[in-house]
Amino acid sequence: MPQWKDASEIHDEAIRAALIELLTQAADDDLVLGHRDSEWLGLAPAIEEDIAFSSISQDEVGHATFLYGLIHDLGGPQPDDMAFLRPATAWRNAGLLERGNGDWAYTVVRHFFYDQFETTRLEALVDSAYGPLADGAKKIIREEYYHRIHFDLCFRKLLGAGGEAGERMERAIEAIRGDLWTLFDFGSDAQAWIHAGLLTQDVQGLREAFLARINEPLTACSVPAVTGDELNRSGGGRTTHTGELSDLIQTMAEVVNTEEAALW
């Protein structure tokens, strides 16, 4: 199987396009959730969480910036242009991630599930045939370690607490499980990723690894496990977007829309 050390070694345009799609999905996921995380700054229910969210959102946005950089190396737009100048229809984030933050329980449950998904995806990227992506995945997975242990703790404690906390967590899980399939709705390029070794795990394998990760704590807290069928849907999970994404982009791009040449 071919290995590519950098962008200049990819001569097959179909592979280049598929790789850009893979990177766009991963980068958009990180930036959209990282932006949602930043919306809690100054408002989180505890000072410790406010501090945690400043680092967590900074990490997510940093990972997105790195991935947008790889897209630029492959001939795509500048990272800032990817973030600020694309219409919502061009974004490839999972629908789950663009939803408003809701309450704290929704935020914790969504982040916990996303971190488990992201780890599953990163593990299938550390040996990617595209060297720069494999290198980045190895670094990102180390940084994500702290997100994982933080949200694992929050998830189990709040869900196991009973009372209002437990009720809110169960409501959030119920709402989010209906959106989880959007994470796995990779579109028609997924075959090419696996075939070219850009991603080293097939979609079914990713789903199974994700389910094993999230169902252990759910079952431990007597919440019904998520089934493979719930994830096995497709149709616009990453291509159809809501007004919530347009609003998010507009907020992010406020400065650039006011003064395009502004340096900040």
Partner 1 sequence: MNDGVHSHDEATEHLELELAVRAALQAVFDPEIPSLSVVDLGMVEDVACLSNGQVNIRMMPTFMGCPALLLIENNVKKAMMQVPCVTSVDVEFVHTTPWTTERITDEGKRKLKEFGIAPPRCGLGAAKVLEATCPYCGSTDTHLDNLFGPTACRSIFRCNSCRQPFEAMKPV
Kindly list the residues in this chain that would bind partner 1 in the complex (CB under 8 A). 48, 51-52, 54-56, 58-63, 65-66, 132, 135-136, 138-140, 142-143, 145-146, 149-150
In 10 A of CB 83, how many CB atoms? Answer: 21
- Cα torsion for 171, 177, 183, 184, to the nearest 10°? 180
Query: Smallest distance from the beta carbon of 256 to partner 1, in angstroms?
Result: 18
Nearest to 205 by CA among 193, 217, 219, 216: 193
Instruction: Map tokens 């607490």 to a residue.
Output: 161
Identity of the residue, 68 or 106, whose beta carbon is nearer to partner 1 in the bound complex: 68
Cβ distance to partner 1 smaller for residue 61 or 176: 61
Question: What does the angle CA 244 – CA 123 – CA 41 come to, to the nearest 5 degrees?
Answer: 35
Alpha helices in the chain (DSSP H): 13-38, 47-73, 79-84, 95-98, 104-123, 131-160, 163-177, 181-184, 190-196, 203-220, 228-231, 243-252, 254-258
Residue 49 CB, shortest distance to partner 1, in Å, is 9
CB of 67 to partner 1, least distance (A): 10
Minimum CB distance to partner 1, residue 51 (Å) = 5
User: Distances from the Cα of 62 to the Cαs of 6, 27, 178, in angstroms?
Assistant: 21, 10, 29
The smaller minimum CB distance to partner 1, of residues 145 and 162, is found at 145
Give the shortest CB-70-to-partner 1 separation in angstroms: 10
- Residue closer to partner 1 by CB (options 135, 244) is 135
> Toward partner 1, which CB reaches closer, 20 or 134?
134
